[in-house]
Amino acid sequence: MTRIAILDDYQGVALSAADWSPVTARAELTTFSEHIAAEAELVAVLADFDIIVAMRERTPFPRSLMARLPNLKLLVTTGPGNASIDVRAARELGISVFGTRAPVPPNLEHTWALILACAKRLVEFDRDVRSGAWQQHVALDLAGARLGIVGLGNYGSRVAAIAKAFEMDVVAWSPNLTEDRCEQVGVRWAQKEELLTTSDFVTIHLKLSERSRNTLGKDDLRAMRPSAYLVNTSRGPVVDERALVSALEDGWIAGAALDVFDVEPLPLDHPFRRLPNVILTPHVGYVTERSYQVFFADVVEDIVAHLDGSELRPLPAGR
């Protein structure tokens, strides 16, 4: 019987998020809730599986790993693309790679949860009340504040729409962003320097690539206002993580709210864990009931198509 591994099912909900009955009659399912980081351990655990289901980029699949999985015939990733899978190498090794649809972006909601947590001091107020303190801080107004959006694509444009509803002044920049695009969204285009030096909140919405890596470096973080907050729900390496630690430790910026990191899960000894001016969430911007329902329903369809000898949602080999 075909053996299927479902990786990184942190919440233990993969099998309840969709109807797997079209698969279970033809295959044996095994879920893994604990993240496996070491390649050698992955090889040992996954060697006998024919199909592997990956949740987004939680577990990378480089050529070196796939070449050591001789039984692997299909790799399914949730989402329409996955930068952590070497799709070209997979094809050369005879491994098909399928994806799923992208749900309506819940990341938008999580971005605003983090912006509001910074502005309204929600974490500090919660800690204060639990410890017996009362009204020890003053919250910030969003109306009239400037939001700088780095990346004005699908996510960034939606973030801008809500910012305008809050009566914020919105500016945007990215390496390829045009004034025409900004006009379409109804925000003002700004040079990178202006965005960083004048924004009260900076939020990042760029896809990770070699070009976007370290888009915000040490000099960029130093340019931000000491009263400003940085929000990142995109990908950790878009910001120079070492420089961000310095920015938070030395007060270059007031604080940060982060859902993404260079290494995930975040190491237990990471400096972010001890800094009081950073809000941390465990890469859950896309982790919602509806997203999981879409993801895993499509995974079931992908697997059934494969078992029937067809391809439903193959990923392009260039990814």
Residues recognised as catalytic: 235, 264, 283
Cα atoms in the 13 Å half-sphere on the side-chain side of 8: 21
Write out the E strands in the chain.
2-6, 27-31, 51-54, 74-77, 96-98, 146-150, 169-173, 188-189, 201-204, 229-232, 255-258, 278-280
| Separation between Cα atoms, residue 108 and residue 158, nearest integer Å | 7
Rounded CA gap, 48 and 184, in Å? 51
Alpha-carbon gap, residue 53 to 300, rounded angstroms: 10
Number of H helices, E strands in the chain: 12, 12
According to the 3-state scheme, what is the secondary structure of 172-209? EECCCCCHHHHHHHCCEECCHHHHHHHCCEEEECCCCC
Sign of the dihedral through C-alpha 243, 245, 248, 253: positive
